[in-house]
Structure 1
């Protein structure tokens, strides 16, 4: 039980820290002349991730941890750090485009267009599986898929300089 609470607390702290970093980076980018695209769907992303994490607390705080799934989750965290480190001050939770700035083509972006979303897809599914909550993983993976369908289309259009 203590390990479940510790893991949930660490993930919660990580997400809150990332929100602070995203706000900081967003402010800096906007001050440099960057433009936010398709902000309307952002509330869906926030609602989904909040419901996922808040929902995990009462469901998982007292459950045992599957170490194999925990290892997968730890690997995903390593990939998350790689994405954040690669994007540096350009990483944000919103679609922010800095005119004239080249697309990032290094790090995981050498292999995938949207490695951050691959990590998010994995996290949404895997953390509930760490606690044996496969039904929770399925529900939130389906909801995440719907939100990412909107998000990736909007981001691709913004990066191409096209209206949505």
Structure 2
């Protein structure tokens, strides 16, 4: 039995304990992926709405992602215009990579059955393709100088270039 199959995705609280856990990720580099600054700017108290989700191995946070729900009035990606999720950052600590943690987080997001948009990070294109994401076809969909990747549930189509 695969250990990751039994791990549950947890919504991370916006508090100082989570801030300390996030500092472990920053030590491994990839500053672009660091969610530490996002968390610091959002700390209020435990009951704040958190966009952060994570997986633990024992007591250690080993994988995390930021997941934001975007109102359909801002949708420029899908037909019909649709509420969607923006999977902003996903990171797994180096020792825990290639064990299914990233897949588990993405499958959790896909479980909402909403379209998902992400921008691939460092050397991650193959991972996203395995998870069913495809490059946005519509030229106007370039985001932050990158081509976003999209995942579409049944019945939702990407906008065409016409």
Compute the TM-score of the two structures, normalised by the length of structure 2: 0.28
Give the number of the structure whose residues are more often helix, by fraction.
1
- Higher RCO, Cα 8 Å, sep 6+: 1
Compute the TM-score of the two structures, normalised by the length of structure 1: 0.28
